[in-house]
Amino acid sequence: MKKRNLILVLVILLTFVGGFSSGILYTKNAKMNPINIYQAPVSAANPKEKTLPKTPKANSKVLIGYVQDFRDPNMIDYSKLTHVIFSFVHPTKDGEILFSGDYAMENLRTIVTNAKKHNTKVILAIGGWYHIKGGESYPYFKAAISNSAARTKLVNELARIAEREHLDGIDIDFEHSRSAEDAQNLKAFTKQLSNKLHKTNKELSIAVYSKINAETLTEVGFVQYDTAMFRYVDHVNIMAYDGQWDGKYNAANLSPYKFTEKIVNYWSNLFEQNKISKDKLVLGVPFYAQPTDPKIKQVSYAAIIKENPDDAASDMVKMNGTTYYYNGSTTMEKKTQLALNYGFGGMMLWEAGLDAQGPRSLTTAIYAELKKSSTKYYSLKK
């Protein structure tokens, strides 16, 4: 028994000494020839670097800025916008598309380059109030969407340009749908364009009249839409301004807060009644000032701030002997809160090129209010 125990002790002792010696030898060798035990074997293949996914804006809601085609693309604050809508291309009656000139195409491409640095989407708007050939855009647009062949051609042209110019979508600005027939043709055009764009993961937005009279604060009927049309779009940009022309000219009716309250309430109820997501609704605000004398031209918010920065929070200013009405930063903040309280998807600016630079920027004021919202990050709704 004692002999067996002695043998067992000797075996354990020899094993321990051998292991200890091996450990010392390995450590010395490792110091001389260090090896990273986590290093993967080197492959003969040369793998391609994967493109990082685009990061959504930290903002929970959209902030859409229209930009006219003649604006300097380098003056836009892309960092705060989720979308830039380049305005406008013009439809012909047979379904073709016209740019204002070579400068417009150059500016569009510069905007795309600048916007992508900030993960900002770029959308091309078709229509607007005026046509490049003169007069209203309405008769040209009306003819193009009333004929099935012209309508299909226009859809294909817009989709082709969106693909070729690396755009993120198209915006429809048909001013205005003036009859039941117009409403049905606009719906058919919207549905067809929606199907075409969404197949390639591009967006479709539409600019709409506010449907409220700024003087009487009641619904107007001279602009007609088929509500079913809004199911095909991602954003409904409500033009909640230019109320000065409702009734007798009154510059104070440009876009006062009470007017906006009625607009928000109208569209909110309409979408709730038709079970359409209110997240598609985008409240538009003006970045310009309306003069009391209609013969005098409008001025930009930037011009007001340049004259006197202290007028940033006001809604009325007297410049060069003329009184102007506009929306200052305080009103913009209130309107943004109003839109959020009603469950809207965000805010729209007409137009970003009229904004002041620096801390008194209206874009910055609206962005700050949107940032406070606690909903999820922006995502495309279909």
Domain ranges of the chain: 63-209, 249-373
For 298, other C-beta atoms within 10 Å of its C-beta total 17
What predicted TM-score, i.e. pTM, was given to this entire model?
0.83
Q: Give the pLDDT confidence score for residue 374 in this predicted structure.
A: 53
CA–CA distance, 73 with 109 (Å, rounded to integer)? 9
For 300, other C-beta atoms within 10 Å of its C-beta total 17
Q: What is the average pLDDT across 9-22?
A: 38
Q: Give the pLDDT confidence score for residue 378 in this predicted structure.
A: 43
Residue 203 preceded by cis peptide, ω within 30: no
Phi and psi dihedrals of 74, rounded to 5?
A: -85, 0
Q: Give the pLDDT confidence score for residue 37 in this predicted structure.
A: 24
Q: What is the SS3 assignment for 62?
A: strand
Region for residue 244 given its phi and psi (left: phi exceeds 0; alpha: psi -120 to 50; beta: otherwise): alpha
pLDDT at 152 over 60: yes
What is the percentage of the chain residues whose pLDDT exceeds 90? 81
Name the residue among 27, 24, 4, 6 with its Cα closest to residue 16: 24
Q: Residue 12 carries which side chain, given as an amino acid letter?
A: I
Q: Give the pLDDT confidence score for residue 280 in this predicted structure.
A: 98
Q: What is the average pLDDT across 307-322?
A: 97
Kindly indicate the confidence band of residue 377, based on its pLDDT and cuts at 50, 70 and 90. very low
Burial class (CB in 10 A: 0-12, 13-18, 19+), 355: buried
For 116, other C-beta atoms within 10 Å of its C-beta total 15
Q: Residue 281 carries which side chain, given as an amino acid letter?
A: L
Name the residue among 172, 58, 55, 163 with its Cα closest to residue 116: 55
CA–CA distance, 183 with 168 (Å, rounded to integer)? 26
CA–CA distance, 140 with 131 (Å, rounded to integer)? 8
Tokens of 252: 């104070």
* Domain range 63-209, CATH class: alpha beta
Helix (H) or strand (E) holding 290: strand 288-291
Q: Give the pLDDT confidence score for residue 12 in this predicted structure.
A: 37
Q: What is the pLDDT of residues 102-129, one digit of tens each?
A: 999 999 999 999 999 999 999 999 999 9
Q: What is the pLDDT of residues 246-294, one digit of tens each?
A: 999 999 999 999 999 999 999 999 999 999 999 999 999 999 999 999 9
Kindly indicate the confidence band of residue 373, based on its pLDDT and cuts at 50, 70 and 90. confident
Name the residue among 260, 276, 271 with its Cα closest to residue 348: 260
Q: What is the average pLDDT across 141-160?
A: 98
